[in-house]
Structure 1
Amino acid sequence: MARHTLLCLLLVATALAKPADEEKKSRVHNEKLSDEEHFIDEEHNPDYDHEAFLGEDEARTFDQLTPEESRDRLSKIVDKIDLDHDGNVTEGELQNWIDYTQKRYISEDVKRQWNANNPENKETLHWLDYKVMVYGFMDNMDPSELEDEAEGMTYAEMVKRDKRRWALADQDEDDALTLEEFTDFLHPEEAERMKSIVVTETMEDIDKDKDGKISLKEYIGDMYRGGDDEFEPAWVSNERDQFREFRDKNGDGYLDEEEVKGWIIPPDYNHSEAEAKHLVYEADSDGDKVLTKEEILNKYDVFVGSQATDFGEALVRHDEF
């Protein structure tokens, strides 16, 4: 069934590596390097590092590589990261690579959806054409089937939400999007002028009682589907503390729009730079603030782990960098 990947794009909410009965969502958007949480129970999450370093799609491609295969393919990537070919990888070179993998993911995602919804490759994609391509299947469905079980939204509500985001992305207000505008539509977190809609949509998703604010119960309920609080995982308790101590700035027990914005679009924080510093810290055995290939390969699990990537594709694509 042709169906827009709306929930992925609106919520950016991928499940963590976790026991099957636990679910946690990440909603932080600002230059977000991975759908994985950066920390779990105050410990750095290696899955975050792998997706940040390799790119989201590639990091999930291979899950059967041996350590030897991982090191061998990582070695080839290191040669590409070392842009000046001096045998060392600096924080700056790592940051450039991480930025590249993020931009590559966005570019490829946009191209996929542009081609799928604009098969004639016109210069602009009109809303009515897009609506037919994405939601046309609804015309032949029984009204009782038009309820989205995942988020409790009807398809009519999803169309309305899409249309609102479309209008914001449509800078010249001609009801059609260029490729650049379509990029803003699909990835509003990457465009400054679109970030308000990210906050609005997040509020709508989490604020179940529609009182215009997010309670602690709603905040936790968005991340955790468990039942008995007595047996909830430790990270849930940590999230409660995060809510009370850091998210709820005015201490009124709720998150308003400004507090939600501070949470999901944190200001003045460069994720690529922070991740590059972390990777250097983890692998820099001699403390000289740069990494040799040997240091990286000795800490291959930090960069790629046992679940590696399709390095062949990464190498081919990186030639364009």
Structure 2
Amino acid sequence: MKKIVHLGLACIFIGMVASKPADNQAHGKDRVKNQKLSHEEHFDGDGHNTDYDHDAFLGEEEARTFEDLSPEESKARLGEIVEKIDENKDGKVDVDELQRWVEKQQNRYISEHTHERWQLHNTDSDNYLTLDEYIKSTYASTEEELLKLDEAEQIDFKEMIKRDKRRWNGADQNGDGNLNKDEFSAFLHPEEFDHMRDVVIDETMEDIDKNKDGTVSLEEYIGDMFIPENGEEEPDWVKTEREQFGQYRDKNSDGVMDRKEVGDWIMPRDYDHALAEARHLIHESDKDGDKKLTKQEIIDQYDLFVGSQVTDFGEALVKHDEF
């Protein structure tokens, strides 16, 4: 089975990229519905993917850093984190406390990632970033280097720049042509900002709408997630996605998703990802049915919350005094 994870066109120009590929991946082709709390799929094939929960609970960077903690040590440090989440110190974590914690981890990741990329691209260390600074520090290319590429690669490269400029203009709220740090955060993480919604939809339509008719067909929708190899039989999760398309994605039942329906899919309004994740974690761990989690209930489900030595425990369990 080949499940497609889009990384954008940056890989084509790996020798021409000066910075880490994170920027290009951040505005590549990953579906935003899976970017909210983690770049992991929440459901992997036919089963639930706990890596998504680790990222949401600990923060994406921290959940990938350490892999040498014993289960005993991880449980002890998880208990310390639970005490931080329990804001009212009643010995239980309710859905509101858990939701705020998940939001904190996501905001922390966005803030740290924005700061890291700001330091890299803002070469003159002033209070704003110019598009020229960003382009030059992201793509180590000159006109001479561009001319060395074949025609198709030149076209792809120019399309990347065009896409960057469109996203840049969307993030530039005061219209001065430059981005301050807050605006740059919207550029890097458009899925987190309502005013970037149209940009995200535009990028998604470009990626999936292969025949450029302004809609997304069932074949294009499935093709974005799954391409069979060597006559491979379609797995059950793909069949489920086909049903989802007909029942929930294509709301007017005309056989395709129009622009509005694509927007409802990738950036649904009135849907709180942190709240949904908090409810999910409580549902999976609440053994006594009181809609709250004790420290012991969380520790009993430590694989769900923080992983194992196989999947990495997460930096939050080591740098626990920072929370």
Q: TM-score scaled to structure 1, two decimals? A: 0.86
Which residue number in structure 2 is paired with residue 193 of structure 1?
Answer: 195
Residues 36-45 or 293-302, more deviating: 36-45
How far apart, CA to CA, are the structure 2 residues paired with 1:218 and 1:90? 41
Aligned AA (2:320): L
Which residue number in structure 1 is paired with residue 66 of structure 2?
Answer: 62
1:51 pairs with one of 36, 55, 69: 55
Aligned AA (1:245): Q
Q: Does 1:84 align with 2:88?
A: yes
| Deviation, structure 1 residue 124 | 0.8
How far apart, CA to CA, are the structure 1 residues paired with 2:68 and 2:296? 23
For residues 148-227 of structure 1, the aligned pairs below 5 Å read 154-227=156-229
Aligned AA (2:138): V
Q: Deviations over 1:251-286 (max 9, x none)?
A: 222111111001001121111112112212222222
CA contact (8 A) 2:78 2:317 kept: no
Q: Deviations over 1:128-166 (max 9, x none)?
A: 2222212242444254637898xx971111111111111
Consecutive unaligned residues of structure 1, counting only runs of 5 or more, are 14-25
Which residue number in structure 2 is paired with residue 310 of structure 1?
Answer: 315
How far apart, CA to CA, are the structure 2 residues paired with 1:45 and 1:8? 21
CA contact (8 A) 2:74 2:317 kept: no
| Deviation, structure 1 residue 44 | 3.4
| Deviation, structure 1 residue 225 | 2.8
For residues 13-24 of structure 1, the aligned pairs below 5 Å read 13=30
Instruction: Indicate the SS of the match to 1:52.
Output: helix
Q: Does 1:125 align with 2:135?
A: no
Query: Over aligned residues, Cα RMSD in angstroms?
Result: 2.4
Identity of aligned residues (%): 48
Q: Does 1:141 align with 2:145?
A: yes
Which residue number in structure 2 is paired with residue 296 of structure 1?
Answer: 298
Query: CA 1:146–1:317 in structure 2 vs 1: closer, same or farther (change >3 Å)?
Result: farther
How far apart, CA to CA, are the structure 2 residues paired with 1:237 and 1:144? 44
Q: Does 1:93 align with 2:109?
A: no
Which residue number in structure 2 is paired with residue 115 of structure 1?
Answer: 119
Which residue number in structure 2 is paired with residue 72 of structure 1?
Answer: 76
Instruction: Indicate the SS of the match to 1:231.
Output: coil
| Deviation, structure 1 residue 230 | 5.2
Q: Does 1:32 align with 2:48?
A: no
| Deviation, structure 1 residue 107 | 0.4
Residues 115-124 or 56-65, more deviating: 56-65
How far apart, CA to CA, are the structure 1 residues paired with 2:152 and 2:190? 22
How far apart, CA to CA, are the structure 2 residues paired with 1:287 and 1:184? 40
CA contact (8 A) 1:114 1:179 kept: yes
CA contact (8 A) 2:215 2:258 kept: yes
CA contact (8 A) 2:249 2:257 kept: yes
Consecutive unaligned residues of structure 2, counting only runs of 5 or more, are 1-16
